[in-house]
Structure 1
Amino acid sequence: MRKLWKYMKIAMLVFFLPIVTYLAIAVVCTYITVNNQEISDATHEIFISSNGVHLDIVLNKKDLSKGFLKGIVHYTHEDYLAFGWGDEDFYLNTPTWNDLSVANALQALFWHSDSLVHVTRYHYPQKHWAKVRVTKQQLQSVIQQIESAFLLKNEQKEVLQRSYHFYDNFYKAKGSYTCFYTCNTWVNCVLKNSAIKACLWTPFSFRLMDIHLNLSKEK
């Protein structure tokens, strides 16, 4: 019996140690910020949106070129577009967190699968968004990175015939979702690569929202 208990403890250690290590590194990296310099010539704005777990980058449609908008479903009265990136199976089969299962969570984290860009349309800014003041160069970098996430078919964005509501759509995307590169990591990387304040690395949503909500209050 003692031997059995010893083997069980070893098995538990082997199983939980990587998880604890991952979470510890993630928390530390989440609280280390980059691109902390003050920006004096920020003449444009973008937004970050969160549903509590998943981040989106929101852009004003007036900042997007006709080439960028080509192939994206949008209408005249919808002035803001929110962009998220994530695992295809997880996106399509987990419309709410009540639909989350161990199987689709593990598949998204550890199984190589296709990804999607999720685009949601809005009439006007939402109160819970975090406003991010940016320069023209930073804005263009954000736009270019979002555009590069779309997987083109015959030089066209490929829209899926599935959505959550009447105001959103999914598009085929490049890349694969993993525990090291999540939907929130994608948003953080877009900001970080655009010289906008961000986390060193994060798979989470809360810290990035807090950073920019606090910055917008200060201004």
Structure 2
Amino acid sequence: MIVLSVTLLTGCTKPISEFYPPDPDRTDNTTVYVVNHGLHTGIVLPHEDATPYMSAFDDFKTARYLEIGWGDETYYQTDPNTLWMGIKALFWPTDSVIHVAAFQTDPVTYFPNKEVVPLKLSHAGFIRMVKVIHNSFALNQQGQPIKLGKGLYGTSKFYRAKGSFHLFNNCNVWSARAIRSSGFPINIFSVFTSDNIIYQLKEHKN
């Protein structure tokens, strides 16, 4: 049991060599960005590169960048939040939503007071990440994302998401899984906070 636990904690810290690191001589590598919002993280994708694989992005056709975040349905959509909302979100499995925000400027410029970490991915790794994000959207009978309402800032929307939110499947765990799908050596079993994600990105990226 101890050996299994150690394996789980360390087994996902190696890169998936087929996808990461990207060949620096290739011209189709893609840079994504991870934003630290304090309690949660968002993943910023270049719209033009991601949109062929994301039907939800049809709502933001003129955007240059799209930031995607996943979280608890009530807590994420409510401002201001309450302590009870946070407790309920962590300790009871709750429904989830996806937040998509569109903007034109560089993510570092758009989020001047946030920590933003760029991550260069191979083309294949990027597509894997985008597909994981796309598969997080709940779809209606017509196969389209389910819109819930206006988002938190700028041009943004909330959508119904798949999966239940709780302490061990929170917004940062979701981000880590998406990042891991690209081949990047992030340890998804030790991620609970946004600071941990940022630390691992800085520790392992080329």
1:212 aligns with 2:195: no
Query: What percent of counterpart residues are identical?
Result: 22
Question: More helix by proportion, 1 or 2?
Answer: 1
Q: Does 1:119 align with 2:100?
A: yes
2:148 counterpart residue number: 160
| Aligned-partner residue type, residue 197 of structure 2 | L
Give the aligned residue type for 1:181.
N
- Counting only pairs closer than 5 Å after superposition, residues 16-27 of structure 1 correspond to structure 2 as none
1:6 paired residue number: none
Quick one: structure 1 residues 32 and 193, their matched pair in 2 at CA, closer, same or farther if it must change by over 3 Å?
A: same
SS of structure 1 residue aligned to 2:59: coil
**Does residue 132 of structure 1 match 2:113?**
no
What SS does structure 2 have at the residue aligned with 1:121? strand
Aligned partners of 1:35 and 1:192 also within 8 Å: no
Which residue of 1 is the match for residue 35 of structure 2?
49
- Could you tell me which residue of structure 1 aligns to residue 64 of structure 2? 79
- TM-score (normalised: structure 2): 0.79
The residue identity in structure 2 corresponding to 1:39 is P
**What TM-score comes out, normalization by structure 1 length?**
0.74
Q: 2: distance between equivalents of 1:67 and 1:34?
A: 27
The superposition leaves residues 51-97 of structure 1 with CA deviations (integer Å, 9 ceiling, x where unpaired) of 12210111001112346245642141x2000110011011112x3xx
1:34 aligns with 2:34: no
Distance 1:146 1:90 in 2: 20
For structure 2, the residue ranges without an aligned partner over 5 or more in a row are 1-8, 109-114
Deviation at 1:182, TM superposition (A): 0.4
Matches within 5 A, 1:58-73: 58-66=44-52, 68-70=54-56, 72-73=58-59
> Does structure 2 conserve the Cα–Cα contact (< 8 Å) formed by 1:83 and 1:119?
yes
On the 8 A contact 2:93/2:165 being kept in 1, the answer is: yes
Q: 1:184 matched to which residue of 2?
A: 172
Structure 1 runs (4+) greater than 3 angstroms displaced = 69-72, 213-216
Contact between 1:71 and 1:158, CA under 8 Å: does it hold in 2?
A: no
Q: Which has the larger radius of gyration?
A: 1
What is the letter of the counterpart of residue 138 of structure 2? L
Query: Superposition RMSD on alpha carbons, in Å?
Result: 2.5
